[in-house]
A and B are shown apart, each in its own frame.
Chain A
Amino acid sequence: MRRLIPRGYLFTVVGIAIGVAGLVALGAMAERITRFIQGGDRFVTGQISVAGAGIGMGAGFTGGGLLTAARIAELRQVPGVAAVQAQVMLPFNPSVSQFLTLTQELVLGVDAAVPSPNRHYRQMPVDRGRFLQPGDRRVAVLGADFAAARRLDLGAALPLGGVDFTVVGVLDKMLTAPDRFAIVTIEDARDLWLRRDPLLVQVFGSGSGGLVRADLNSGAAVGWRDGEDPDAVARRIRDGVKGVNVTIPSELSQTLRASTVFFSALLLGIGTLGLVIGGLSLSNTVAASVFERIRDFGIKRALGATDAQLLGEVLREALAVSLGGGGLGVLLALVIGTLVDWRLARDGQQLFFFSPRLLAFTMVFSMLLGTMAATYATLRIARLSPAEAVRRGT
């Protein structure tokens, strides 16, 4: 340690570390929000979401009524459509809210026999266990936050609508909506829907409207063929299939971004605050450490050191100190962030995301700012005569 950090710089290194830790922590919070927004955007722009017309209990990222099997068959005929996957999306806890947001816990029923049409998620990233397979019943694959919040792992039982589902897979952390999903087969999701909604049971029981079980879909994810413009395909669906709500991917993306304007502003504020606090702390600490050595500068100049030699010496020390302080600060932020996230994981939350780009930026930022502050302080001191420097430093 002594070889890496010049003697007498311990408090400087600690001072820098605290400033950098603040910068990294604020940056990691900003990164977390960014990833959340980007992740949601990536998910919804990877598919065309379609629901039945009308106002139903919700259909994932759209709003609408039932999307019947006949409508799904029609969707498959639209030019440019590559695949259609029927889905049932329900709030996990119906007593809390029916309003679907990116942060709500959802039960997603998918037709496991149809490959995921989402271009950005051809396969859900499975961390442990496996994804759903055709023929599965009463098994669930859980999003990372959903599982962590309930401490559920492979083999555990998840009660859904009074029925226990066995957890067969847990997804990787995706930092977006699916982290809070419980994914089951569409057949199980239809059962759950029926158990929750007595009106639907009556409708099916009476046979009115000619509805069958296969009509019980809250929406569908539609994929497009290679080379097709997803917006154009979505418009073709809207124009060609009656009785459906279609979201245009780019419009949905814009809507999502508009709804996260506050988060974007918050993100900008956090980032700016981090840069200002961390930057000021770091530059002030480095400059102060150079000014503290004003007497040593006077002595060294008396011994024949030129301005260039002193500047070189100070820059080397500043780089070592900035790197040491920066590294220690990153470590400190990682430890604190990990501990906080470990505590929050019990509630299925994650506050920090320490991305490689954030850590790399912090180290470069530390070195640049440390070097600039050291150069500024050295040039200020270099104006003094050796005798004056010794006098001021004594």
Chain B
Amino acid sequence: MLVRAVALVKSYRGGGGAPVSVLMGVDLEVKAGEFISIVGASGSGKSTLLNLLGLLEPADAGEIWFDDERVSHLGRGAQARVRGTRIGYVFQAFLLVSSLTALDNVLLAARYLGRDRRAAHGEAMRLMERLGVAHRRNHYPAELSGGEQQRVAYCRAVLNAPPLLLADEPTGNLDDDHARVVLGELRMQARERGTSVILVTHGGGTAAHTDRCLRLRGGRLEPMNS
């Protein structure tokens, strides 16, 4: 078992200051190499769940385990290390750093781990070649199309070969061709490299490409067919 979430609870302050419960005790287990999707209506808490699993924000209650390590209760520095070494993110909005070139954006993932820059550079170039964006390496995000930005973001997410990939609506801003490329890559990561992939989407079409599909409803996860 790679990832295990136990009784995750999260609420936000609403407009009037009253708490709005988003997640009310979410349990989840993801095996190594498993490709799962989580679907749900807008505002159901899919992205929040992904943020908690990716240690991008703290849960109000509950625990998150990576293998045998309870990562949800680690300190800030240790969590940063976990994010850098064990988690890759692909976001709908790409989230590239606008002041860096495509190549430097990909290399960011290696920079904070202190990886050898030359080795990381070679690896980044091979990845970008494979995804068809190597020729755009010196361009800034604003100079790239949406599909190119998402492929650059994907390269960044997998550069450190993390055992867990989190993808939040990764095809939401892409046309069909680019969406197929990204989904194919995620599937390849799971099947050929044993990476666990958790994909969040609001559409059932994308979910059909995954091993297992869960629905987030009423703050809890349930199997898609229930």
Contact = CB atoms under 8 A, between A and B. Distances in A.
Interface stretch (A302-310, A325-333, A347-355): A302-310
A283 B210 CA distance: 51
B80 A304 contact: yes
Interface residues of B, number: 26
Interface string B150-172: 00000010000000000000000
Given A309-B112, A386-B56, A387-B56, A304 B98 contact: no
B169 to A, nearest CB: 14
Contact of B56 (A295, A296, A385): A385
Contacts of B89: 302-303
B109 A304 contact: yes
Contact of A304 (B51, B113, B140): B113
A388 interface: yes
Interface in B53-89: 54, 56-58, 76-77, 80-81, 83-85, 89
Nearest to B156: A303
A387 B58 CA distance: 10
A386 B87 CA distance: 14
Residue among A8, A305, A387 with most chain B CB within 10 A: A387
B105 to A, nearest CB: 9
B93 interface: yes
Contact of B84 (A8, A299, A304, A385): A304
Interface residues of A, number: 23
Contacts of A8: 98-99
Contacts of A307: 76-77, 80
A113 B35 CA distance: 103
A390 interface: yes
Contacts of A346: none
Nearest to A9: B99
A390 B95 contact: yes
Contact of A303 (B51, B57, B84, B93): B84
Interface in B115-152: 140
Given A301-B80, A386-B83, 14 more contacts: A299-B97, A302-B89, A303-B89, A303-B156, A304-B83, A304-B85, A306-B76, A306-B77, A306-B80, A385-B56, A385-B58, A386-B56, A390-B56, A390-B95
23 contacts: A7-B99, A8-B98, A296-B97, A296-B98, A298-B95, A299-B97, A302-B89, A302-B95, A303-B84, A303-B109, A303-B156, A304-B81, A305-B80, A305-B84, A306-B77, A307-B76, A307-B80, A309-B112, A385-B51, A385-B57, A386-B57, A386-B83, A390-B56
